[in-house]
Structure formats: structure tokens, C-alpha cells
Amino acid sequence: MRSPRVSRTLLAATAVAAVSAAGVVTTQLVPPASAAGTASGYASQNGGTTGGAGGETVRARTGTEIHQALCSRPASDTPITIEVEGTINHANTSKVSGDSCSTADGVIELKRVSNVTLVGVGSGAVFDQVGIHIREASNIIIQNLTVQNVKKSGTPTSNGGDAIGMESGVRNVWADHLDLIASGGESEGYDGLFDMKAGTRYVTLSYSTLRNSGRGGLVGSSDSDTGNTYVTYHHNLYENIDSRTPLLRAGTAHTYNNHFTRINESGINARLGAKVRVDNNYFEDSKNPLGTFYTDALGYWEVNGNIWENITWDSDDHPAGPDPRSTTSVQIPYAFDLDPAECVPNVVAATAGSHTNLAVSDGSC
């Protein structure tokens, strides 16, 4: 396959406010972090996802400073872009109090807030063993970050072991150009990389990498948690994941132009009437990458233009293969452009993650 051409955005330096843990604000000229761009997929629906567009831009170098930026706003819905630089860890992430925030130690809390962009500077910021928790929130953009080794057991713990977790009526989240990484499964103390529960809707995960985890992510935490829906996954790399790429309990999802490699047990797991449209993905060196697994509560899929290379289908449950065919049809309400499936590994390698300068596919292969 030929190397793809990709589109990139070049930005000038801008004046931003720097907030100290004590709440002192100064303005300085700093190198650019990134432009949020335009939300795609289901995050573009329900009024769209614009994050902190139109609000103040603040530079944060610690988790405490992220919380301070949220708490220093006039109101919990005042737009803000928080540019993150360096490494966020437990030692520098403490609770901050205020009328426009609800924060905690050892986790980045986007709780009961709206109109927020959290974006890494330059080649991206690193959240090391500190997860991002989005709860009762709306219109959130998370971009150009690495979130790694978040644990639910052992030391230290954060965010129930989820790299990014959303719950309780969350609406309109765009997660883009991220690296979400674990170092094992539940027995090593980790949970999911990208989880949604308790009524989360209108979410897009794009141009990101998910690696080395027992669990890629879920949509719905139990068979009674069926109000989560409208999720798009595109141009992501799933590599060395045991299961849940994602697990869908009811709801509707769209997954296109993703590269799945070394899915070790099961992949896209549609249950409880879930419907997923699977377009122009590249699946390779994997086991049971699509179907209904570990239950008889069937889900359904529409498959178009995918490549299945070196796939093992040996589940006793309800795999889509060895000859994957559509069992439903899924209407998509937004416009989207598909790269040819044979181009996907190269396109994703050149564009996904927090060190690609927000590169995106321009449709060439």
C-alpha cells in the first residue's frame, strides 16, 4: 500500500492565560497547542460539539491547574479551552473547590460542567495513571492527549480504572487524536480505555490509538443500562486488546476506517438489540472481531467493505463469521467520507494518536 497524504493544520502563537494553583492569572505569548477542528460523527449531531470555542484559553501544567481553570470560571457553562502541557500525575492533581466545578484528588473531573475543551500542547500532554472522568456534562472536547496506565486496583488508583469514563446523562463528547494505553487486563488492575454508561449519548472517538488492554471500551455497564447510544468510532487503531472494541449493550453505533489488529478474544460485541454499522475497516490477526459474545441476547450489524485478514472464528456464542454478512441496516444521519479498507492501516498509522500534529486523512491512498 502506498503511504497516504494527510492534511495538517499550522497555527501561530497566541496569547493565553496561565493559572496557578493559587488562582493567579497572567497572560503570556505561548506556542500553539492545536485547533479543535470540527467534530465528526454522532458528536456533530444534537446541536454539535464545539467545546470551549469562543471562551478564554488557559494554559495548565498540573492537574490542579486544570481544576483551578474550571473553578475560576464565572459559571459551570462558561466556555473555556484548557491547553495542557507536560505530565499530569497524582502528585500534581488535587481537588479545587468553586461554584463552577466539582473536582477530586487524583482524577481529572469534568463533572456538572459544559463547553470545555481539554487539549494537549504541541506533541501532546501525558496523563500518567490519572484518568479523565466526565459526569453530568455536555459539549466536551478532549484532544491531543496520552492517558496511560489508569488503575482500579493496586497503587495508585484513579477513575475506577478507566482512561476516559463517561456517565450520568453525558451529551456531546468529541475525543480526538488520543493515545489510550494500559499494561494489561483486570488482573493487573486495569479496566476500560473508553467507557460510557448511565445515559451517555452523541459521542465520537476519532484518530486515536487504544493499546495493550484487556478491555477497549463499553457502551452500557450492565444489561439494565441500555440508554447509551449514538456513538461513532473512526480512524482509530485497536492493538493488542482482549475484548470490547467496543461492547455495545443496546443503542446504535457506527465504526468505520478503523484498524483492528491482535484482538485476542472478541472484538465488536453487539448485545441486547444493539445495532452497529461496520464500514471499510481493516481486521487482521484477530479472533472473533465481530458478533454477539458471552450472551444469547443478540445484537445486529450492517457490514460493508471490510477486510478480514488472518481471522479466527471459534466462539461458541454468535460470531459474525466466517462469512460476515449484514443482519440489519443502520441509517447514518451525518455525512462521512470513507477511505478504501485496503488503505486503512497506512492511513491510521499516519494520522492516529497524539503525536501526529492532528493529521487527518485527505482521502488519498
CA neighbor of 80 nearest in space, from 97, 112, 62, 56? 56
What positions carry a catalytic annotation? 244
Residue 199, domain extent: 12-361
- Give the count of domains, the chain: 1
Classify 112 as helix, strand or coil.
coil
Q: What is the pTM of this model?
A: 0.91
Whether the CB-CB separation of 144 and 33 falls below 8 Å is answered with: yes
Is 1 part of any domain? no
CATH, residue 105: 2.160.20.10
pLDDT tens, per residue, the chain with 365 residues: 333 444 443 333 444 444 444 443 333 333 444 445 799 999 999 999 999 999 999 999 999 999 999 999 999 999 999 999 999 999 999 999 999 999 999 999 999 999 999 999 988 899 999 999 999 999 999 999 999 999 999 999 999 999 999 999 999 999 999 999 999 999 999 999 999 999 999 999 999 999 999 999 999 999 999 999 999 999 999 999 999 999 999 999 999 999 999 999 999 999 999 999 999 999 999 999 999 999 999 999 999 999 999 999 998 899 999 999 999 999 999 999 999 999 999 999 999 999 999 999 998 88
Of the candidates 242, 267, 278, 254, the one whose C-alpha atom is nearest the C-alpha of residue 317 is: 267
Q: From CA 308, how far away is CA 285, in angstroms rounded?
A: 9
